[in-house]
Chain A
Amino acid sequence: MIYLELLWAFIQIGLFSIGGGYAAMPLIQHQAIDVHGWLTMQSFADIMTISQMTPGPIAINAATFVGIQTAGIPGALVATFGCVLPSSIIVLSLAFIYYRFKGLKAMDSILKGLRPAVVAMIASAALSLIAMAFWPEGMEGSTDWLNAAIFILALLILRIWKPNPIIVMAAAGCIGIAASFLV
């Protein structure tokens, strides 16, 4: 039953993506690629790219995309619902506890302890994105030197001048289009 699978997969993504930002990325990769095979690595990289360029949290964007690709609009609704279900229950319970006892100490120490592991997992997902960009046809295929150059240049620019990532992404896209005229 595809709807139940989508619901359960995105409940897990919503429940275990702790710390905001890119924390959902490794979980989406795990569920949608490794466990269920709903996405290829290329479409995963695409949805991360689209997420950078459009408003909205990565997890919601991924839920909508995966839901539609596997089971149409109802699939998107079910996946998105699954994605927000655990956090809405937890966030309201925490609010209740907070206003009652004025403290989130346990949650805070769990969160601090988790931080290094979350960073490690995002790093692991980043390696997959690099591999996808450098070797689009798999590790045995040829190296995409243009992408390698864009990656290094973009990373240097981001580290030195700290511009808005959207500008860097848009510039990368323009270079890609320009290069496609030359080839």
Chain B
Amino acid sequence: MERNARTYLKLFLTTLGISAFTFGGGYVIIPLMRRTFVSRLRWIEESEMLDLTAIAQSSPGPIAVNAAILIGYRIGGIPGAIISCLGAVIPPLVIISVISAFYKAFRSNRYVSAAMTAMSAGVAAVVVDAVISMTRDIIRTRRILPIAMLVAAFILVALLGVNIIAVIIISGAIGYLSATVSERRRG
């Protein structure tokens, strides 16, 4: 791939466009990126896109931003990574900046306030819906460790108010150890 100003500009505008018009976060944005960079622009091979997606999902932070950084790096090295990261971040940054500038005035409006209050019940339902699906997936594994960790982590965080970063670090360590142990047993 020729790394010239036009490639960088196209990279920037493409990630900017994907980020500006994708509602629903990482799970929606990744298929869209695949269509754009693999099928339309032919900058990345299908199999490599799968690898990049796996890396983006295994890393902390927003999946959409991670995927943009990886694709940018693949196409244009470190400058490419920075450019596509900017493309992914600028749309939400601008949109939310505009909304926050008017937030106080908006919120005190009677109708906006009524809509926001009702929508807060809607967003609670959306998150609970996601939690039910994710919990069901964990219960369906029928393995004791993940189910026990789910219950224990909920008690620690929701009822006892333990620091969530500590819970994350400990669960990550338990996950790693249990995988290592079962690997050894299998020989």
Contacts and interface: CB of A to CB of B under 8 A. Distances in A.
Interface residues of B, number: 89
Contact of A169 (B27, B59, B122): B122
A4 interface: no
B49 interface: no
B3 interface: no
B122 A130 contact: no
Interface string B134-171: 11001000000011011111100110000111011001
Given A114-B172, A133-B120, A169-B126, 18 more contacts: A16-B60, A16-B168, A17-B62, A21-B27, A48-B123, A52-B126, A76-B93, A88-B69, A92-B73, A109-B178, A116-B153, A120-B157, A121-B168, A144-B121, A150-B121, A150-B122, A158-B125, A168-B125
A58 interface: yes
Interface in B74-121: 81, 85, 89, 91-93, 95-97, 99-101, 103, 107, 110-111, 114-121
Contacts of B135: 119, 123
Contact of A106 (B97, B115, B121, B176): B176
A19 to B, nearest CB: 8
Interface string A137-173: 0000000101110111011001100001110110111
A49 B62 contact: no
B65 interface: yes
Interface stretch (B7-15, B18-26, B36-44): B18-26
Given A49-B123, A55-B21, A57-B92, A116 B171 contact: yes
A86 B61 contact: yes
Contact of A58 (B25, B99, B121): B25
Given A57-B92, A125-B127, A173-B115, A154 B121 contact: yes
Contact of B56 (A17, A22, A91, A172): A91
A97 B130 CA distance: 32
Nearest to A146: B118
28 contacts: A18-B59, A20-B25, A45-B123, A46-B116, A52-B126, A57-B26, A60-B89, A64-B96, A64-B100, A76-B93, A76-B100, A88-B66, A88-B69, A92-B81, A118-B168, A119-B131, A126-B124, A129-B120, A148-B121, A150-B121, A151-B122, A154-B121, A158-B126, A158-B129, A169-B126, A171-B122, A173-B115, A177-B115
Given A18-B60, A55-B23, A176 B95 contact: no
Chain A CB within 10 Å, residue with most, of B125, B134, B164, B179:
B125
